[in-house]
Amino acid sequence: MTLLRRPFFWIIGAVILTFALAPTYGNNVELRESLLLAAVYITLASNLNMMLGYAGYVNFGGIVFFGLGGYFCVWLMSALGWPLVAATLAGGAAVSALALLFGLGILRLRGAYFALATVGVNQGVMAFVTNFGPWGGATGIYLSPALFKPLGGPAQALWTIYYLLVGVMGLSLYLSYTVKSSKFGLGLLAIGQNEDAASVLGVPAPRYKAAVYSLSAFLPAIAGGLYFFKGAFIQPPDAFDLQLSTEVIVIAMLGGQGTVTGPALGAYLYEELRGWLLTSPTFSNFQLVIAGGLLLAIVLFAPGGLMGLIYRRWPRLRRILE
Amino acid sequence: MIGLLASLLDGILVGAVYGLAAMGITLIWGVMDVINLTHGAMIVAGMFGVYLLAGTLGVPVYATLPIVLVGGFVAGVALYWIAVHRVIGQPPLMSLLSTFSVNLVLIGLGTAVWGTVLFNVQVSLPGLSLGRYTFPGTHLMAAALTGVIGGLLYLFLYRTRTGKAVRAVSGNREAAELVGIPTRRVLALSFGLGVALACVSGMLIATLFPFTVLSGDAYQLKSFVVTVLGGLGNPAGALAAGIALGLLEGLATPFMPVSWTLVIEFVLFVVVLVAFPGGVLGLRRARAH
């Protein structure tokens, strides 16, 4: 187990433990809700980062995985009576398979074309779901409160969902780390640098791209299932909210695309910033404006994000952090 | 039968305006290999331009066109120097993200000011009757103005010295620089022109349909579909493809709910890109620089 000897493995473990334990002190529900959102952000940003940071493909519609996962899970539970864990896992697998199918089509497109097609995938799926009868069409699906019973009632269920989401977040960080230190990850990074050169050197680019697209769909879909189960309600505009997709890109870029720590750091900071903006009377309407301004500043002046700045200041940290 | 024919003819009129919007994208792409994701926001800016000028200040609706055109051009040149110039020649990721973030800022400001309610611009133009069907005057006027602007753009690109410089930079930036063309100024000019076209098309669309601050996304997607149909960097192709898309919409609307049109257009977008990867070759060319 060389993994256990790497300091970064223990850093991830400490983060998960902090997330799991912090809100249990004094039953701090407010902190739990804030951390829950941070865990969702970290999950989405880490998985997006495998496309954006490693392979260099912008996925503007990454939220489609989250929303579809939510739909599969909520539908399996309400219509077929599946238990939560089975429904989320099935949702994750189904969305991953769908992503592979989409990926084989749209990943033949490069760079900017791919980015545009991902917006189209999200909008297309949203339009499909809006017109799809079995999933409630435009009105969506409501979950009956009875479904919370097997988890020990609504109050206990919220804690269970929180722990599960923290678990998913941990898996995302771990996956992000494992992929980066694998041969597969090296291939992706090579594609990100120069796809033609990578192909010439023997990286099976089409297969790797489809694989990472599908892989980056799995955990967000599970997170989506848990998230929408928690709300007991899902409808197309919430499930396929391009604004959330956008925020996730800002998060990945803010923390530092292509690093494992970056998206997590970015997610935490962004969640803090967002909380502050929402409560500030002056800025509550300007959340998008500030997110956009932040992204522009990063792209123009610090394309490496916060991790890029940190590495430049303390190059030795490269050996510990990923 | 006459209903379908009328729907098709009307599709051509509306499609011409889509073509105008797509010309804006294709011009910028052709000259500097940047996909302008502020396009949707700029279309909306044009819509609100005519709404404010005509609705609040009482300027005649079609007299706002030159004002919107000039305003769009100035905004585009400013945008070039603020957000685009630094990312020219970098990986496509960077220009995508920088224009995308400007789009966020603009849409965010728009929603903060106007919310997401529907607006429309009142125009009274007599229609043209054809049997039982009447073509709205606004549609005819929009198509006619699109023709005029398209013609002027053609004259500019092919008959003026500056226009020829734009085409030279589009063909090969380094070579253009070597023969003494001030490429930076040409890039800024082209970006301004592209944005001006987006604003004008938004202004014309506002006379056809009601709109919200968020309408830009749908028209942006349409513009991209048209752009890839017509071939990237080819303004005349964009106009033809816009008309083709309008025809398709005209053909589809009698048979299916409107909410499906976007899905069909997106599928078309991917199929065209995958089956006729002329565009993808364009990107390879960009990477080889």
Domain range list for chain A = 2-319
pLDDT grade for B208, boundaries at 50, 70 and 90: very high
Q: In a 3-state reduction of DSSP, which class is residue B134?
A: strand
**Residue among A51, A107, A116, A295 with most chain B CBs within 10 A, to mutate:** A116
Number of C-alpha atoms within 13 angstroms, CB side, residue B232?
27
- Which of A110, A123, A195 comes nearest B262 by C-beta? A123
pLDDT grade for B38, boundaries at 50, 70 and 90: very high
Mean pLDDT over B17-38 rounds to: 91
Looking at residue A225, its pLDDT comes to: 95
Spell out which residues of chain A touch residue B228, defining contact as CB-CB under 8 Å.
113
Looking at residue A2, its pLDDT comes to: 67
In a domain, B125, yes or no: no
Spell out which residues of chain B touch residue A124, defining contact as CB-CB under 8 Å.
262-263, 266-267
CB under 8 A, 24+ apart: contacts of B52-59: B54/B121, B55/B121, B55/B122
In a domain, B2, yes or no: no
pLDDT grade for B278, boundaries at 50, 70 and 90: low
On whether any CB of chain B is under 8 Å from the CB of A291, the answer is yes
- pLDDT over 80 (residue B1): no
On whether any CB of chain A is under 8 Å from the CB of B105, the answer is yes
pLDDT grade for B233, boundaries at 50, 70 and 90: confident
**How confident is the model over B81-125, as pLDDT tens digits?**
999 999 988 887 888 889 999 999 999 999 989 988 999 888 888
pLDDT above 90 coverage of chain B, percent:
50
Looking at residue A319, its pLDDT comes to: 76
- Which of B93, B104, B279 comes nearest A295 by C-beta? B104
Q: In a 3-state reduction of DSSP, which class is residue B88?
A: coil
Number of domain units in chain B: 1
In a domain, B117, yes or no: no
**How confident is the model over B139-187, as pLDDT tens digits?**
899 999 999 999 999 999 999 999 999 999 988 999 999 999 999 999 9
**How confident is the model over A117-168, as pLDDT tens digits?**
888 788 888 888 988 888 988 888 998 888 888 887 788 889 999 999 999 9
Closest alpha carbon within chain A to B269: A117
Show which of residues 206-235 on chain A sit within 8 Å of chain B, judged by CB atoms.
Answer: none
Closest alpha carbon within chain A to B115: A285
ipTM: 0.84
Closest alpha carbon within chain B to A288: B108
- Which of B83, B97, B270 comes nearest A120 by C-beta? B270
Instruction: Give B129's DSSP letter.
Output: E
Question: Which range marks the domain in which residue B224 is found?
Answer: 15-98+133-288
Note whether A127 contacts B287, CB cutoff 8 Å: no
On whether any CB of chain A is under 8 Å from the CB of B137, the answer is no
Mean pLDDT over B14-27 rounds to: 93
On whether any CB of chain A is under 8 Å from the CB of B211, the answer is no
Show which of residues 49-88 on chain A sit within 8 Å of chain B, judged by CB atoms.
Answer: 52, 56, 58, 60
Exposed e or buried b per residue across B136-164, where buried means at least 16 C-beta atoms within 10 angstroms of its C-beta: bebbbbbbebbeebbeebeeebeeeeebe
Note whether B263 contacts A127, CB cutoff 8 Å: yes
pLDDT grade for B254, boundaries at 50, 70 and 90: confident
Show which of residues 132-191 on chain A sit within 8 Å of chain B, judged by CB atoms.
Answer: none
β-pairing, A233-234 with A141-142? antiparallel
- Which of B91, B104, B221 comes nearest A246 by C-beta? B104
**Please, what sign has the CA dihedral across residues A69, A75, A76, A77?**
positive
On whether any CB of chain A is under 8 Å from the CB of B276, the answer is no
On whether any CB of chain A is under 8 Å from the CB of B214, the answer is no
On whether any CB of chain B is under 8 Å from the CB of A200, the answer is no
In a domain, B105, yes or no: no
**Residue among B97, B99, B221 with most chain A CBs within 10 A, to mutate:** B97
Digit-by-digit pLDDT tens for chain A (322 residues) are: 566 777 888 888 888 999 888 888 878 888 898 899 999 999 999 999 999 999 988 888 889 999 999 999 999 999 898 999 999 999 999 999 999 998 887 887 877 778 878 887 888 888 889 888 889 888 889 988 888 888 877 888 899 999 999 999 999 999 999 999 899 999 999 998 889 999 999 999 889 999 999 999 999 999 999 999 998 899 998 999 888 888 899 899 999 988 999 999 999 888 888 888 878 777 777 888 888 999 999 999 988 889 989 898 888 888 778 7
| Angstrom distance (rounded) from CA A123 to CA A139 | 17
CB under 8 A, 24+ apart: contacts of B6-9: B6/B130, B6/B133, B6/B135, B7/B250, B7/B251, B7/B253, B7/B254, B8/B247, B8/B250, B8/B251, B9/B130, B9/B135, B9/B250
Please list, in sequence order, all residues whose beta carbon lies within 8 angstroms of the beta carbon of residue A26, skipping any fewer than 6 positions away.
none
On whether any CB of chain A is under 8 Å from the CB of B92, the answer is yes
Note whether B274 contacts A295, CB cutoff 8 Å: no
- Which of B101, B109, B273 comes nearest A296 by C-beta? B101
- pLDDT over 80 (residue B289): no
pTM exceeds cut of 0.95: no
- pLDDT over 90 (residue B210): yes
CA distance to partner chain B, nearest, from residue A189 (Å):
14
- Give the residue carrying structure tokens 């900071």: A269
Note whether A111 contacts B101, CB cutoff 8 Å: no
In a domain, B107, yes or no: no
Look at chain B and count its residues: 289
In a domain, B112, yes or no: no
- Which of A130, A253, A293 comes nearest B259 by C-beta? A130
Show which of residues 102-131 on chain A sit within 8 Å of chain B, judged by CB atoms.
Answer: 105-106, 108-113, 115-117, 119-121, 123-124, 127-128, 130-131
Give the architecture-level CATH label for domain A2-319.
Orthogonal Bundle (1.10)
- Which of B93, B105, B221 comes nearest A293 by C-beta? B105
- Which of A109, A124, A288 comes nearest B107 by C-beta? A288
